[in-house]
Amino acid sequence: MSSRRDFLQKFAASAIAWPVLNQYHTVSLSEIHDQQPYDGPILKVAIMGLGSYGTRVAEAMKDCKKAKLVGVISGTPSKIPTWQKKYDIPEKNCYNYENYDKIKDNPDIDAVYVITPNSLHHEAVLRLAKAGKHVICEKPMAISAQQGQEMVDACKAANVKLLIGYRMHFEPKTLEIIKMRNEGEFGKILFFQGLSGFRIGDPTQWRLNKELAGGGAMMDIGIYSINGARYMVGEEPFWVSAQETKNDPVKFKEGVDETIQFQLGFPGGAVASCLSTYSMRNLDRFFLNGENGFAELLPATGYGPIKGRTNKGELTHPHVTHQTVQMDEMSDIILQGKQPIVPLDGEEGVKDMKIIDAIYKAVRTGNKIPLNL
């Protein structure tokens, strides 16, 4: 079966047959799906956590061919009737945080997408694994590498799959750069820069609560540069150093990082210089430099459209809603054993958590911290 990436590349090449597309035009999945009929298994998904991102995923799944939203799990039961009506969800597929263990007796749900505050991921994944359901867990997968490994172990013991919500692993411009690097287009990789940040608003939100978030900007937006450095360079880092800047200790309390600069060293000689912040706007850029060429994504990880260019010119792949592609691809991974170009299993999530743990240790100690991923 040809991959979605191959299809998108062919689709882009044949764009002359389409009306001229504005660079901000979003190509609907229905337009693409019409050209690629599907007759295969459907992943039946329940969403756990009905906040803003859970809603975004639910809306994107309307255009999925291989995944279908069939259930909900909410800590705020008053939200459930609205979701039932909007997404045609039967009562028997609705749960709260106290009774969702009963999902083990529901054959109409294959997998649960956990989209709750970070510190709640660990317990949820352990309970869902015990209930025999596949799990998709939003990133960061946990608040420590130890928790992440326990989640991986629990899913392995239950013989269910654990995937992490790395939507960028399916983004076509990102995959094109990875393909070019693998083919040697850039030569020896020398440097990566990752800038990930925005100015956070409401000071009472859970992302600024250490008990719920496990940290600050690094746990929310900085993880994009961590993960991006790994898949853009194509190696695993073996050391990290980091420095923290905190200008607003009232908003960013103890244990909630405002801004961290961090550096990663790679065995092939490349270095990465990255920034994670909750206090600066217009920071969403990846830059990869090699002896023979370069690649840039700007914006690099937003909801799109992603813009990219290399030393060979602009990347012109059409934009498709990230979460729609993600859920269809995850269906193939879970139900048909497809191997993604960039891994996104629980082990990959643990690697990012090991780096985050080391970054916080580097900030505390001022030392360069060795990594063993």
Catalytic residue check, 139: yes
Q: How far apart are CA 111 and CA 127, in angstroms?
A: 13
Q: What is the 3-state secondary structure (H, E, C) of the chain?
A: CCCHHHHHHHHHHCHHHCCCCCCCCECCHHHHHCCCCCCCCCEEEEEECCCHHHHHHHHHHHHCCCEEEEEEEECCHHHHHHHHHHHCCCHHHEEECCCHHHHHHCCCCCEEEECCCHHHHHHHHHHHHHCCCEEEECCCCCCCHHHHHHHHHHHHHHCCCEEECCHHHHCHHHHHHHHHHHCCCCCCEEEEEEEEEEECCCCCCHHHCHHHHCCCHHHHHHHHHHHHHHHHHCCCCCEEEEEEECCCCCCCCCCCCCEEEEEEECCCCCEEEEEEECEEEEEEEEEEEECCCEEEECCCCCCCCCCEEECCEEECCCECCHHHHHHHHHHHHHHHCCCCCCCCEHHHHHHHHHHHHHHHHHHHHCCCEECCC
The answer to whether the CB of 137 falls within 8 A of the CB of 165 is: yes
The answer to whether the CB of 311 falls within 8 A of the CB of 152 is: no
Catalytic residue check, 95: no
Which of 65, 133, 139, 161 is the catalytic position?
A: 139
List beta partners, residue 87: none
Instruction: Name the token pair of 213.
Output: 């978030």
Which of 95, 100, 113, 224 is the catalytic position?
A: 224
The catalytic site residues sit at 139, 224
